[in-house]
Amino acid sequence: MTTGSAATLDADSDDDGSGDYSNTAGTFSTGGSALSITANDFGLSGAINTGTGTTTILISDGGSIGLGSTVGNMTITGTELGNITAGTLTIGDSSAGAITVNGISSANSTNITTVDLNSSSIVFSTGDSTFNGLTATANTGTITGAVALTVAGTSTFTTSATLSSTSNDFTSAVSFNTTGSSANTTLATNSSIILGASTIGGDHSVTVGGTSKTLNISGAQDVAGVITLQSSGDLTLTSSLSSSSSSDSAISLISTGGGIFDGDSDGSTDIEAANGRLVAVSNGGFGTSANPIETTLSSIDLTNSTTGDVNIYETDGLEISSLTQNADGEDITVSYSGSLSGRDLATFPDSSLGAMTFTQRQPAPVNVADQILEGSGKSVSDVSVENTVQLAKTVESDVIQMTLQNSGSGNKAVASLDSGGSMSSYVTDIFSDPHVLVEFSSDFKEINAGFSGLENFGGKTVEEAQVAKLEPALTSESKVSKSLFQKNKSEAKQVLWQKMVRKVAAKKSGKKKVGKKTSKKSLVGGNSDTNKNQRNKSSNLTPVSGARPFERGSIPLQQRSFR
């Protein structure tokens, strides 16, 4: 018999438990449309075919249902199940009694994409069962299974569920939902498993045994109670774990034969227990330097052994209860925002070559590279490629570390930052090559600074452009007083050497130095006879101890501390 539309059959319309459905031969087909059958009992020697549509079988009087090699008020044997072809087969509803499942083979369920069990409670007992896809909902009771379930497609268990057989084998994602109750979920298996999105009002426990079997969190696990996840291989957080528990074991992650890793790269939080503690045991690392585990935790107790680094990116402050890196030569890296306590409880093995790094992040309201330096009209980025770098008196920034870079001389590290995040002192070589610091005008009446706007050189301020005027023109008789070098400032500690002044005087008079050939032409006028009379006279300037001679008219600077 074939219908071209949905069909509803009710063999017990008065629901007194006396009407049964029976199809002893032939195929009842809906052409892909839905079919609903209500009866006290069910007998199917023929076939039912709804294609990819839904077939629903309901018990009329709220009695129990047996599926497979078991009995109930309504019994659907494994053979009868194999006579049904459907996209989804729903057995029972919220009014049905308990469903017991026993020994459904892959041949029995091969023509059904998903078996949907719906009743007061569900028990998988006695014999192992196999399904393409499975949905189990216990409306008032629990879902229990001490036998193996093998499911190739997705599986969903709603309300309290305990599936304790280590022979469970779920190829695709397994999800749990306790529908707002405080029910717990427990799943054990010796096969790799994928956890789909789950919302659980109580505790959530998944144990993956065997050898090197993985546990992948592909959907968010939102749990009111305690989360305990254990795997014999890598434990991968492709989606998030969230616990509302405030206990010292709000979330426990254990990888006995692998590491604990972040499976996404979007920077989203992987583990959240804002009021509780994460207890993690890994044997292959916790996160990676390129993709750390993002956490929001009150505290952490973590141990890593065998191999791998520990990489934590905490979104807030963090209390370290224990942080033990037992893998020799591997690192610990913790980035956090806010406060950090228990840093001294982070430990390495004796003589380990590993590095331990704790970095506090603070919001930076101003991009340092774009900040305009006081009085210059230029940004840090602009001046960083120039030969002379002058920072503002104080660069305010919420950063802990920064590097100044000169294109010619490489990186210059800031020596100290005060606790408020202000840079108050640093040391850097401001020149990558020698440059003119002092120049004489062509008439030798002016001395000009080669670098204008340079503050706090030698403890004094260098005036812009012109340091001093010498009046009258400089001669060997002239005494260069300190007040001439800087009229508007107190003592000018400008570096001039006696050798240079003698050389200038010689140029002025046109005289030669002792042992040198006399210039044929005076540099500033006069005659050679006059200049001869001034031959042995010298300047009254005293050389600075340890100073270096001029190099092509320049005074190369040594490293200076600028404040």
Give the DSSP letter string of 396-465: E-S-S--EEEETTTEEEE--B--TTSEE-BEEE---SS---SEEE-TTS-EEEESS-S--SBTTBPPPSS
- Among the listed ranges 24-28, 223-227, 351-355, 456-460, which one has the minimum average pLDDT value? 456-460
- In whole numbers, what is the pLDDT of the chain averaged over residues? 79
Q: What is the pLDDT of residue 443?
A: 53
Segment 515-523 shows an average pLDDT of 41
Q: What SS3 state is found at 90?
A: strand
Segment 540-549 shows an average pLDDT of 44
Segment 336-345 shows an average pLDDT of 96
Beta strands in 33-121, from DSSP E residues, in sequence order: 35-39, 41-44, 47-49, 54-59, 65-68, 74-76, 84-91, 99-102, 112-119
pLDDT band at 321 (very low <50, low <70, confident <90, very high): very high
- Does residue 139 contact residue 94 with C-beta atoms inside 8 Å? yes
- Does the pLDDT value for residue 527 go beyond 70? no
Q: Kindly list the distances between the CA atom of residue 513 and the CA atoms of 409, 517, 522, 527, 536, in Å, as whole numbers in the listed order.
A: 38, 8, 13, 16, 9
Written as one letter, the residue type at 182 is S
Taking only the tens place, the pLDDT of each residue in 241-268 is 999 999 999 999 999 999 999 999 999 9
Higher pLDDT, 40 or 4: 40
Cα dihedral 326, 332, 337, 341 in deg (nearest 10):
40
Higher pLDDT, 185 or 562: 185
- Does residue 141 contact residue 162 with C-beta atoms inside 8 Å? no
Taking only the tens place, the pLDDT of each residue in 489-502 is 444 444 455 556 66
Per the structure block, which two tokens stand in for 328? 């020799």
- Does the pLDDT value for residue 159 go beyond 70? yes
Higher pLDDT, 510 or 279: 279
Q: What percent of the chain has pLDDT over 70?
A: 66
Segment 437-463 shows an average pLDDT of 48
Segment 311-331 shows an average pLDDT of 97
Segment 47-68 shows an average pLDDT of 97
pLDDT band at 372 (very low <50, low <70, confident <90, very high): confident
Q: Is the pTM of this model over 0.75?
A: no
Higher pLDDT, 290 or 441: 290
Segment 203-229 shows an average pLDDT of 98
- Does the pLDDT value for residue 36 go beyond 70? yes
Q: What is the pLDDT of residue 400?
A: 46
**Which range among 16-25, 165-174, 442-451, 455-464 has the greatest average pLDDT?**
165-174
Q: For the chain, give the longest Cα–Cα distance.
A: 145
Residue 22 CB neighbours (<10 A): 12
Specify the DSSP class assigned to residue 153.
Answer: S
- Does the pLDDT value for residue 412 go beyond 80? no
Q: What is the pLDDT of residue 474?
A: 42
Segment 36-65 shows an average pLDDT of 97
- Does the pLDDT value for residue 543 go beyond 80? no
- Does the pLDDT value for residue 526 go beyond 80? no
pLDDT band at 523 (very low <50, low <70, confident <90, very high): very low
pLDDT band at 118 (very low <50, low <70, confident <90, very high): very high
Q: What is the pLDDT of residue 509?
A: 67
CA angle 282, 286, 290 (to 5 degrees): 155
Higher pLDDT, 213 or 461: 213
Q: What is the pLDDT of residue 479?
A: 47
Written as one letter, the residue type at 481 is S
Segment 4-26 shows an average pLDDT of 91
- Does residue 155 contact residue 134 with C-beta atoms inside 8 Å? yes
Higher pLDDT, 16 or 387: 16
- Does the pLDDT value for residue 233 go beyond 70? yes
pLDDT band at 510 (very low <50, low <70, confident <90, very high): low
Q: What is the pLDDT of residue 48?
A: 97
